């Protein structure tokens, strides 16, 4: 029998969601974010929500540090050291020790630094750059440019074939930790070990994993990694990205973008370039201080939070959402392209629309109903689950609204009662 929502089992799923939310140790963190009570935000895998305290912190940066102290703030307010300081705050979230991450520039710029820097560490005979064939497009564009610059060639490889494709000609493998379209989690420890066994290096793109699951850069011997901070790290639109260089590579890391901020004596203003030691070698020019300090403030929400707990909740949320979708969505209308096994899943669920269903229309109506996700052409709906502010009741309602939209578009009358 159906309840007032028009769905069988709806009451049971809502009761379970309420019980799961009551037992959720991370639920209190939702209060730290500027979110309305009515909407459900499932697009944190594109842009994280605003931590409530950031505007007040930025008001001080703008009015006092910039407005009153002006140039003195480079020293007295710690602006100069911000890239390394913030890198050290990101480090524990991705399993890195202090001094191995520098924040600044965009992900694309850092991919370029990392790929060229890795290739320059490889012997000339290693003339291939392996690239995940399903990578986010910019990574592929950057890899092609890096290949032209270094006299190498790009070899696109399906993620499942990467380990087998590694060989004596491989200089570096550029891989996305989590596929942006499907949410598939790649085997970072296994692929890194396979690359090293083949004499190659790795560059990992962490944009869709940092802040959602443990990464273990140091523990797994990763060579280079890059990532953005405006998704699960909630740094704000266009927030600075970051670059990780393993300690064993730092002394030999030859950045293709040597700027005065990465000079060993930046204020010496000498014509010859001599690189700084450590993470500072990844800097280029003057950083975007306003965005940098907004990111620093946003990272406060991670105080006392274990990434392992975030991962546990993420998997529980996505499991529950998939169960609700299976209950609410009409058969044959959507199919999950996100892997079911936990070791293959990031923190999003991607559903492929079938049977002529227009994914763009579905998402537009969901957003009108207060459920914000996104879609990737031509047919994929994406729902990102940020455990610090998404709950189980959110997952249940989002799936229920999706079921109602799919049925309405098919001309079915549920006599639905909106919650």
Kindly list the catalytic residues: 136, 205, 230-231, 382
Q: Which of 138, 76, 82 is nearest to 279 (CA)?
A: 82
CA distance 90 to 230: 12
Cα distances (angstroms) measured from residue 123 to each of 168, 171, 201 = 10, 8, 11
DSSP secondary structure string, 361-375? HHHHHHHHTTEE-EE
DSSP secondary structure string, 189-232? HHHHHHHHHTT-EEEEE-TTTTTTS---TTTTT--EEEE-SSST
CA distance 16 to 330: 21
CA distance 230 to 88: 17
**HSE (CB half, 13 Å, CA atoms) of 373?**
29
Q: What is the maximal distance between C-alpha atoms in the chain?
A: 79
CA distance 375 to 389: 21
- For 336, the enclosing helix (H) or strand (E) is strand 334-336
In total, the chain counts a number of residues equal to 419
Contacts of 116 (CB under 8 A, 6+ apart): 146, 149, 150, 255, 256
Contacts of 335 (CB under 8 A, 6+ apart): 351, 352, 354
Cα distances (angstroms) measured from residue 127 to each of 120, 137, 150, 155, 174 = 11, 22, 9, 10, 14
CA distance 246 to 96: 9
Instruction: Output the six-digit token pair for 314.
Output: 């993420």
> Are 328 and 399 a contacting pair, CB within 8 Å?
yes
CA distance 144 to 86: 30
């Amino acid at each position: 029998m159906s309840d007032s929502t028009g769905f069988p089992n709806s009451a049971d799923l809502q009761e379970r969601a309420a019980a799961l939310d009551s037992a959720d140790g991370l639920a209190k963190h939702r209060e730290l974010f500027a979110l309305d009570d009515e909407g459900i935000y499932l697009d944190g895998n594109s842009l994280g929500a605003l931590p409530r305290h950031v505007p007040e912190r930025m008001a001080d940066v703008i009015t006092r540090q910039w407005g009153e102290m002006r140039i003195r703030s480079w020293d007295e307010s710690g602006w100069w050291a911000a890239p390394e300081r913030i890198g050290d705050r990101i480090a524990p979230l991705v399993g890195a020790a202090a001094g191995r991450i520098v924040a600044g520039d965009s992900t694309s710029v850092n991919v370029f630094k990392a790929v060229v820097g890795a290739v320059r560490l490889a012997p000339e005979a290693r003339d291939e750059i392996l690239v995940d064939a399903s990578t986010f497009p910019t990574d592929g564009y950057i890899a092609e440019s890096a290949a032209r610059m270094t006299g190498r060639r790009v070899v696109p490889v399906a993620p499942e074939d990467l380990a087998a494709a590694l060989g004596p000609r491989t200089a570096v493998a550029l891989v996305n930790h989590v596929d942006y379209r499907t949410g598939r989690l790649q085997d970072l420890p296994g692929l890194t070990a396979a690359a090293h066994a083949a004499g190659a290096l790795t560059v990992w793109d962490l944009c869709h994993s940092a802040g959602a699951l443990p990464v273990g850069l140091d523990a797994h011997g990763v060579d280079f990694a890059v990532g953005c901070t405006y998704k699960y790290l909630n740094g704000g639109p266009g927030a600075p990205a970051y670059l990780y260089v393993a300690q064993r590579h730092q002394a030999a890391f030859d950045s293709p973008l040597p700027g005065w901020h990465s000079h060993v004596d930046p204020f010496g203003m000498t014509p010859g370039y001599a690189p700084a030691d450590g993470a500072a070698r990844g800097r280029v020019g003057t950083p975007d201080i306003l965005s940098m300090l907004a990111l620093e403030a946003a990272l406060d929400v991670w105080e006392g939070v274990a990434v392992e707990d975030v991962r546990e909740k993420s998997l529980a949320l996505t499991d529950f959402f998939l169960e609700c979708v299976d209950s609410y969505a009409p058969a044959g209308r959507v199919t999950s392209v996100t892997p079911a096994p936990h070791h293959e899943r990031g923190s999003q669920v991607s559903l492929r629309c079938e049977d002529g269903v227009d994914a763009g229309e579905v998402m537009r109506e969901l957003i009108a109903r207060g459920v914000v996700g996104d879609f990737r052409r031509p047919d994929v709906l994406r729902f990102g689950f940020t455990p610090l502010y998404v709950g189980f009741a959110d997952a249940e309602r989002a799936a229920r609204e999706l079921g109602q939209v799919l049925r309405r578009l098919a001309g079915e009358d549920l006599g639905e009662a909106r919650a």
